[in-house]
């Protein structure tokens, strides 16, 4: 094994350890379970699919505290394998026992890629989504479980994911930049020359996870990608891309793009309609919030100004669990611009 390959393998092991360690603390589980939109949508989806779950074997990928496994048992599952790689699995075992479910739920400590189940399964359930859907997501693990453990014709919850983009205005950023023009009136020192530097610092290449209000969205959303969990491959996740076209609602200044996702749960015979968990800024807030991608400078638009382009999402070369988003875009008559965004890897800075 070459030194480069060996180093890359060690980096992957370290990245996995950091990732799983981040789920060993109570805070992240408190945040996820307290997210009513997330937790209740999963609960309703599992109960609505009770016909597919009752008397069947279920695999919960990345089970965490085991709440989804318990929902499946409540829906009538004969057996649930709750696979969890981090130490929170010990708490999941206590919760399962506390709810008198230990005869039907087996918590297994390990990654789904390394555990050995005693049987194939009829249903896979997983809350695998990350920021902007794919950042630190477990989707590759779900696909591994699908290909290795799911019976032909089995059910995956959720079964589909969709990605959307829309232009937006972030008024807080504009207020922060305008601040430098107010210093002279307050203190007698003209610091307006700081504005360009501040713009470069604030409107940088980071994927900013933030809550976007519906009022700051400047057009109808455009869907640029759809993932069918029954058929998508790990290779396809290495480049999730699509084109988009939006038309602005009215006169404003676009200073960012907002990216968000939905996941859809199937319902038997499609009646009632499928259940959708949405992270849209025009829907109730979730802990995923939205991904904000700042332009280098705001662009003025009027009603029906076309905003077109292409989005490409792909794993970071430094950390395969981290996502990069590249956007090629044109606003009105402006020539095409390009910008690549990523979420800062704070863990690597802390370790260095």
Q: Which of 31, 127, 247, 317 is catalytic?
A: 127
Nearest to 205 by CA among 295, 132, 110, 269: 295
127 is catalytic: yes
Catalytic annotation present for 136? yes
Give the residue from 216, 220, 204, 212 showing the smallest Cα distance to 165. Answer: 220
DSSP-derived 3-state class of residue 245: strand
Where is 68: in which H helix or E strand?
A: helix 67-74
Q: How far apart are CA 123 and CA 79, in angstroms?
A: 10
Rounded (5°) CA angle 149-153-156: 65
Inter-residue contact 17 to 85 (CB < 8 Å): no
| Residue 24 φ/ψ, nearest 5 degrees | -90, -10
Question: Which residue among 106, 136, 215, 236 is the active-site one?
Answer: 136
For residue 339, which of 259, 257, 261, 281 has the smallest C-alpha distance? Answer: 257
Q: What is the set of active-site residues? A: 127, 136
């Amino acid at each position: 094994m070459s030194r480069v390959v060996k180093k890359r393998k060690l980096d992957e092991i370290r990245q996995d350890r950091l990732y799983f360690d981040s789920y060993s603390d109570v805070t992240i589980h408190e945040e996820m379970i307290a997210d009513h939109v997330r937790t209740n949508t999963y609960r309703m989806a599992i109960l609505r699919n009770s016909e597919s779950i009752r008397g069947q074997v279920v695999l919960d990928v990345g089970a965490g505290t085991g709440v989804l496994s318990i929902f499946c048992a409540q829906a009538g599952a004969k057996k649930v394998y709750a696979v969890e790689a981090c130490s929170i699995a010990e708490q999941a075992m206590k919760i399962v026992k506390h709810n008198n479910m230990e005869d039907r739920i087996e918590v297994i400590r390990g990654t789904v890629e390394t555990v050995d189940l005693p049987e194939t399964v009829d249903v896979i359930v997983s809350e695998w989504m990350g920021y902007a859907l794919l950042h630190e997501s477990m989707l590759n693990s779900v696909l591994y479980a699908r290909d290795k453990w799911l019976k032909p014709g089995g059910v995956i919850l959720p079964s589909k994911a969709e990605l959307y983009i829309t232009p937006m205005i972030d008024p807080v950023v504009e207020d922060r930049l305008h601040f430098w023009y107010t210093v002279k009136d307050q203190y007698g020192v003209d610091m307006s020359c700081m504005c360009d530097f501040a713009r470069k610092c604030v409107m940088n290449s980071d994927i900013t996870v933030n809550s976007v209000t519906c009022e700051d969205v400047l057009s109808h959303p455009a869907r640029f990608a759809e993932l069918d969990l029954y058929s998508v491959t790990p290779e396809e996740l290495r480049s999730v891309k699509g084109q988009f076209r939006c038309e602005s609602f009215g006169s404003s200044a676009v200073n960012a793009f907002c990216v968000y996702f939905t996941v859809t749960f199937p319902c038997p015979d499609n009646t009632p309609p499928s259940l959708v968990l949405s992270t849209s800024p025009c829907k109730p807030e979730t802990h995923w919030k939205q991904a904000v991608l700042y332009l280098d400078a705001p662009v003025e638009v009027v009603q029906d100004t076309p905003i077109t382009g292409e989005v490409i999402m792909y794993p970071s070369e430094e950390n395969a669990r981290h996502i990069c988003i590249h956007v090629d875009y044109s606003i009105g008559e402006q020539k095409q611009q390009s910008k690549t965004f990523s979420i800062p890897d704070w863990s690597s800075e802390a370790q260095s």
